[in-house]
C-alpha cells in the first residue's frame, strides 16, 4: 500500500474513533472502504435520532455539499466536518439563508 493510502486509512480510523458510526456493520473494513471512497470525507451526525454518525467519501468539498443538500432528509443530518484525507485539513460548513419568492 502506498503511504498516501495508509495516511488516509489512519485519518479515517481517527475520525471513526472520534465520531461513532451509526451503522458500522455496513462496512467490511471501514478504514479501507472510506479511504477509497473519495479524497474528502463528509462526517454528519443524525442529531434528530441517535447522535451517531454517517460518513461518505467525495471527490471535492463541493460534491460533499451537493450530497448533503440533496439527500432525502437533509434537515435530519448536521454536518460535523469535511476532511481532506490526503492532507488532514478539515473544513466547516457555512450555513446561509436564501429566500425564494412565494407563490
Structural domain boundaries of the chain? 3-91
Cα R_g (the chain), whole angstroms: 15
Instruction: For residue 82, name the pLDDT band (cuts at 50, 70, 90).
Output: very high
Beta strands in the chain (DSSP E): 40-45, 53-58, 78-84, 90-91
Q: How far is CA 93 from the centre of its chain?
A: 11
Q: Please state, as a whole number, how many other Cβ atoms lie within 10 Å of the Cβ of residue 80.
A: 20
pLDDT at 4: 72
pLDDT at 99: 86
Q: Which of 1-5, 25-29, 77-81 has the lowest mean pLDDT?
A: 1-5
Amino acid at each position: 500500500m502506498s503511504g498516501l493510502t495508509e495516511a488516509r486509512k489512519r485519518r479515517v480510523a481517527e475520525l471513526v474513533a472520534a465520531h461513532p458510526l451509526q451503522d458500522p456493520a455496513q462496512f467490511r473494513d471501514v478504514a479501507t472502504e472510506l479511504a477509497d471512497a473519495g479524497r474528502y470525507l463528509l462526517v454528519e451526525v443524525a442529531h434528530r435520532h441517535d447522535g451517531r454518525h454517517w460518513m461518505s467519501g467525495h471527490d471535492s468539498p463541493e460534491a460533499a455539499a451537493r450530497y448533503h443538500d440533496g439527500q432525502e432528509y437533509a434537515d435530519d443530518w448536521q454536518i460535523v466536518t469535511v476532511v481532506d484525507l490526503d492532507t488532514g485539513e478539515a473544513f466547516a460548513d457555512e450555513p446561509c439563508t436564501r429566500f425564494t419568492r412565494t407563490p
